[in-house]
Amino acid sequence: MREDVIEREIEGMLGLRERREKDSDLYKIANEVFDRTTKETLAYLHRRGKIEALYGVISTGKEANVFAGVDAEGNRIAVKIYRTYTTEFRRIWEYLAADPRVGYLPKDMRKLVFVWTRREFKNLQRAIKYAVRVPEPVIFRNNVLVMEFIGDELPAPRIKDVERSLEPSDFEELYDFTMGVIERLWKRGDMVHGDLSEYNILLHDRPVVIDWSQATVKRNRMSVELLRRDLRNVINYFGRKGVDVDDFDDKFRELVGV
């Protein structure tokens, strides 16, 4: 497709043809992360009706940015766009190389990011299968992942964002929920999230676990260490909030059977 046609589609998705707000935060971030591959991918998803418009930034990071948007039917969506060239190359490579579900790993960084995106999509599907509340995945292509939007008018906050407004009973309920997620994934799903913390749980009606890029299966040689990380993060955080938490060693032995 001609580059000028793609540019017009992207401008339309960002609302720039109507607003001409080329100094907006959305435009600035998009301009930083939308390389040609990303623009072609977004244009493809736009033509298929999966992304009608992007209208705000939910989060930014070294590895990916997440945008709020709508699809062609007016449904709200979250669009996660991985940077095709990232400083996280070594970490991504190590996680993928250890995952028995992943076969041949391309040496090209851009294609490696495509594998990483597909892996998060599959992780979300697997988590749902084992009754863990996550943003429902819609579609992925190359380095773009389209998911359910969690929130109302604004994106749902993380536990960390609203912890000062929570009551002791709220922390107790959230601790039980989070430990339940760890146990359900490990015992029933043969899976571990790997980065579970107050930063990756949204509060909306009921808690929603996000950021599944590093999640993996129990057969992965890294899985036990990732389980250890999740348990330690969760027990330490909620312990500081006054919750009567499990003993780390006892809970770890219970799960791994040693």
By annotation, the residues acting in catalysis are 195, 211
**SS3 of the chain:** CCHHHHHHHHHHHHCHHHHCCCCCHHHHHHHHHCCHHHHHHHHHHHHCCCCCEEEEEEEECCCEEEEEEECCCCCEEEEEEECCCCCCHHHHHHHHHHCCCCCCCCCCHHHHHHHHHHHHHHHHHHHHHCCCCCCCEEEEECCEEEEECCECCCECCEHHHHHHHCCHHHHHHHHHHHHHHHHHHHHCCCEECCCCCCCCEEEECEEEECCCCCCEECCCCCHHHHHHHHHHHHHHHHHHCCCCCCCHHHHHHHHHCC
